[in-house]
Amino acid sequence: MNKIYDYLIIGAGPAGMAGAIEASKAALSVLVLDQASSAGGQIYRNLGQTKPQQAFVLGNDYLAGRPLLAEFMAANCDYKPQAQVWHIETHEQGFIVSALINGESTTYVASHLLLAHGAMERPMAIPGWHKPGVMTAGAGQILLKSSGLLPKEVILAGSGPLLLLLAQQYRAGGVTIKALLDTTPKANYWRALPWLVAGLTTPKQLIKGLWLTLAQRIKVPYITGVSDLQITGEHSACGVRYTVAGTVHNIACEVIMLHQGLISETQMGQLLGCSQRWSDVKQCWHTQVGAAGQTSVAKIQVAGDAGAVGGGYVAQLQGRIAGLTRAHNAGKIQTRQSKVRLIWLKLRVKQLNWAQGLVERLYQPAKWLSKPSGCTIVCRCEQVSAATITSIASAGCAGVNQLKGFTRAGMGPCQGRQCGLNMGYLVANAQNRPMSKVQPLSVRPPLSPISLGQLAKGTDW
Amino acid sequence: MTDSLFSCLIENPLQCTVVVNNVEHQVPAQLSVAGALLYLGHRQVRQHSVSGEARAPFCHMGVCFECLVTINKGQQQRACLQQVMPNMRIDTVTKELTQ
């Protein structure tokens, strides 16, 4: 029989690392499984191996992850990189977690789980987004962090802080930014204005954000009020076409990076039966998470962007809260000092999440971007167009899960991660239903593809 | 393969030999497989199994499965999740298994 861990953490980003640090300090046996080859998550990807030139371009916020990373690497916990969790089963002693490591399926048993697998980028289904040359802004930043690669010239399009940060980093790296096409609807500025009060509670971040926005507006060809964005080029991207105030423009460029914010990854929570909630503000589904990271299922906690997108710092605090709470509940720490610390951490997260309300409203995705139409590909894996999905939704299809059966949308290897949200929007639009009433795609194991050979190699029956 | 749209900002990086579609190349050792393909000027890494259209790495974080290539004879590997290794064999996919 396998060793039974007290705490199994999925993901080694800021939330997972912090959770592991706190729980292992309290002498719990901790195992961290992470998909990447080194710890840090996407925000601190490759931080441990970063070269000086990369550090210069990526900036201080990236390097600020170093103490956390060092603390994690020194923590007394088991850590498995390049471990792709493909299934979790409930078991009388807790959970059996199956992960693919080095081409072999391995199982681990744990009494408690912390899901800290982070977020993904909101799919931006515009015409031609599936063509070579188009990638996400997050992808651009990961290429820079992990490989030190920069595009020679690029168009950045969409909205959100990451797009602005990437523009800043690319400028520092000498990349020619041919245009930054901002799709943020003008109405968002008015909607966000009252939330400036919330933003003022974190003045440092507010000033940083304003500075980042202003600097890009001055230093790159910054075009606001962009709509009807599409990728031009037949087999691969040759440029973009867009509309500003009724006038159509074209810009040529072979690398285009899209971004419209982040959404929580919900697949693991859904698989485990944790209840899900639609957020109108965040415009995405997320697992319902309490102040101590608890979910609707006993012994499962969620921390960081996996529960609700709040950024790296909030994720770290939530990870600490989750780990400390686990240690308290296990009776490993009972000091007054740690109880006070826990209360303080929770208050700080509350405040930061409130301040986050400003960013959420300011960068809410444009409505036209959630209504792909015509031959725009919605499901990239199975090549299903928006028109196909809309016609079936209009014919009275019961929801996205039935739509999947009719069209194969959501059946490909990404398992609906890239198309699920837009399928939901199209059903909601066609049937005049609120998104909260259109159930998300159901999740089944395996969470990521695994071959029979890999499965057989790891069995010990 | 054409001129690369990407360049590496690291000066004098440690080099690593990889074999892409039976041709040996030197690439910076810190690259991911997907990064190496972009660096070497591959605009596309596979043909879509349904439409036959060209596809290239999209999310670089293991979500989208657009960068599936053959690595050391293992088929359908996500190129974005693996770092290049000395003498790694990488084959881009021009004809999918399902055909």
- Looking at the complex, report in whole angstroms how far the Cα of residue B22 sits from the nearest Cα belonging to chain A: 23
Task: Please check whether residue A363 lies inside any domain of the structure.
Answer: no
Q: Which residues in chain B touch residue A46, judged by CB atoms under 8 angstroms apart? A: 30
Tell me: do A254 and A380 sit in the same domain: no
Tell me: do A8 and A45 sit in the same domain: yes
Tell me: do A288 and A205 sit in the same domain: no
What's the pLDDT score for residue B99?
Answer: 38
Shortest CA distance from A154: residue in chain B: B5
Q: How far apart are CA A260 and CA A137, in angstroms?
A: 9
- Listed residues A238, A260, A282: the one ending a domain: A260
Closest CA to B78 of A413, A456, A129, A79: A413
- Looking at the complex, report in whole angstroms how far the Cα of residue A416 sits from the nearest Cα belonging to chain B: 9
Task: Please check whether residue A307 lies inside any domain of the structure.
Answer: yes
What residues 8-47 of chain B have any CB closer than 8 A to a CB of chain A? 8-11, 13, 28, 30-32, 35-36, 38-39, 43-44
What's the pLDDT score for residue A459?
Answer: 65
Q: How far apart are CA B78 and CA B86, in angstroms?
A: 18
CATH number for the domain harbouring residue A420: 1.10.10
Q: Among A129, A147, A176, A384, pick the best mutation site for testing chain B contact (most B Cβ within 10 A).
A: A147
CB A164 within 8 A of CB A212: yes
Q: Check pLDDT > 90 for residue B92.
A: yes
Tell me: do A243 and A290 sit in the same domain: no
Interchain CB contact of B5 with A (< 8 Å):
yes
Per DSSP bridges, beta strands B6-8 and A149-151 are antiparallel
- Listed residues A200, A233, A260: the one ending a domain: A260
Task: Please check whether residue A37 lies inside any domain of the structure.
Answer: yes
CB atoms within 10 A of CB B14: 8
What's the pLDDT score for residue B98?
Answer: 42
In A187-322, which ranges are E strands? 222-223, 226-232, 239-244, 247-252, 256-260, 262-264, 276-279, 284-287, 300-302
What's the pLDDT score for residue B27?
Answer: 96
What's the pLDDT score for residue A460?
Answer: 60
Domain count, chain A: 3
What's the pLDDT score for residue B6?
Answer: 97
Task: Please check whether residue A447 lies inside any domain of the structure.
Answer: no
Angstrom CA distances, A245 to A40, A181, A250, stand at 42, 13, 14
- Exposure string of A434-452, with b = 16+ CB inside 10 Å and e = fewer, is ebeebebbebeebbbbbee
Tell me: do A235 and A166 sit in the same domain: yes
Closest CA to A266 of A11, A440, A39, A10: A440
Q: Phi, psi (5° rounding) for residue B77?
A: -95, 140
Q: For B11-60, write each residue's pLDDT tens digit.
A: 888 999 999 999 999 999 999 999 999 999 999 999 998 889 999 999 99
Q: For A306-334, write each residue's pLDDT tens digit.
A: 999 999 999 999 999 999 999 999 999 88
Inter-chain residue contact A412 with B65, CB threshold 8 Å:
yes
Angstrom CA distances, A264 to A269, A283, A414, B31, stand at 10, 10, 15, 27
Counted residue by residue, chain A has a size of 461
Tokens describing residue A243:
């509309």
Tell me: do A60 and A168 sit in the same domain: no
Inter-chain residue contact A418 with B63, CB threshold 8 Å:
yes
Residue A378, Cα to own-chain centre: how many angstroms? 19
Residue in B31, B65, B81 closest to A147 by CB:
B31
- The rounded percent of chain A whose pLDDT value lies above 90 is 94
Closest CA to A149 of A281, A280, A57: A57
- Looking at the complex, report in whole angstroms how far the Cα of residue B44 sits from the nearest Cα belonging to chain A: 6
Residue in A136, A149, A449 closest to B58 by CB:
A136
Tell me: do A256 and A127 sit in the same domain: yes
What's the pLDDT score for residue B1?
Answer: 64
Inter-chain residue contact A236 with B43, CB threshold 8 Å:
yes
Structural element, H or E, at residue A55: helix A52-58
Task: Please check whether residue A442 lies inside any domain of the structure.
Answer: no
Tell me: do A31 and A148 sit in the same domain: no
Shortest CA distance from A102: residue in chain B: B82
Q: What's the mean pLDDT when you consider all of chain A?
A: 95
Gyration radius from chain A CA atoms:
22
Please give the interface size between A and B, counted as residue pairs whose CB atoms are below 8 Å apart.
Answer: 139
CATH number for the domain harbouring residue A100: 3.50.50.60
Angstrom CA distances, B36 to A243, B26, B40, B56, B61, stand at 35, 9, 6, 13, 15
Q: Which residues in chain B touch residue A144, judged by CB atoms under 8 angstroms apart? A: 9
Inter-chain residue contact A417 with B63, CB threshold 8 Å:
yes
Interchain CB contact of B64 with A (< 8 Å):
yes
Closest CA to B66 of A37, A115, A12, A377: A377
Tell me: do A325 and A432 sit in the same domain: no
- Looking at the complex, report in whole angstroms how far the Cα of residue B17 sits from the nearest Cα belonging to chain A: 16
Task: Please check whether residue A452 lies inside any domain of the structure.
Answer: no
Q: Among B3, B16, B65, pick the best mutation site for testing chain A contact (most A Cβ within 10 A).
A: B65
Looking at chain B, the number of H-run helices and the number of E-run strands are 1, 8
Q: For A181-209, write each residue's pLDDT tens digit.
A: 999 999 999 999 999 999 999 999 999 99
Task: Please check whether residue A445 lies inside any domain of the structure.
Answer: no
A8-23: average pLDDT = 98
- Looking at the complex, report in whole angstroms how far the Cα of residue A33 sits from the nearest Cα belonging to chain B: 15
Q: How far apart are CA A122 and CA A419, in angstroms?
A: 10
Closest CA to A238 of A163, A128, A125: A128
A99-112: average pLDDT = 93
Tell me: do A251 and A223 sit in the same domain: yes
Q: For A400-436, write each residue's pLDDT tens digit.
A: 999 999 999 999 999 999 999 999 999 999 999 999 9
Tell me: do A272 and A244 sit in the same domain: no
Q: Which residues in chain B touch residue A238, judged by CB atoms under 8 angstroms apart? A: none
CB B17 within 8 A of CB B70: no
- Listed residues A219, A242, A260: the one ending a domain: A260
Inter-chain residue contact B31 with A132, CB threshold 8 Å:
no
Shortest CA distance from A36: residue in chain B: B81
Shortest CA distance from B82: residue in chain A: A37
Q: For A230-269, write each residue's pLDDT tens digit.
A: 999 999 999 999 999 999 999 999 999 999 999 999 999 9
Shortest CA distance from B13: residue in chain A: A51
Q: How far apart are CA A270 and CA A288, in angstroms?
A: 11
Q: For A137-146, write each residue's pLDDT tens digit.
A: 999 999 999 9
Q: Tell me which residue range forms the domain holding A394.
A: 371-437
CB A244 within 8 A of CB A180: no
Task: Please check whether residue A392 lies inside any domain of the structure.
Answer: yes
Q: How far apart are CA A96 and CA A91, in angstroms?
A: 6
Domains and CATH numbers, chain B: 15-91 (3.10.20.30)
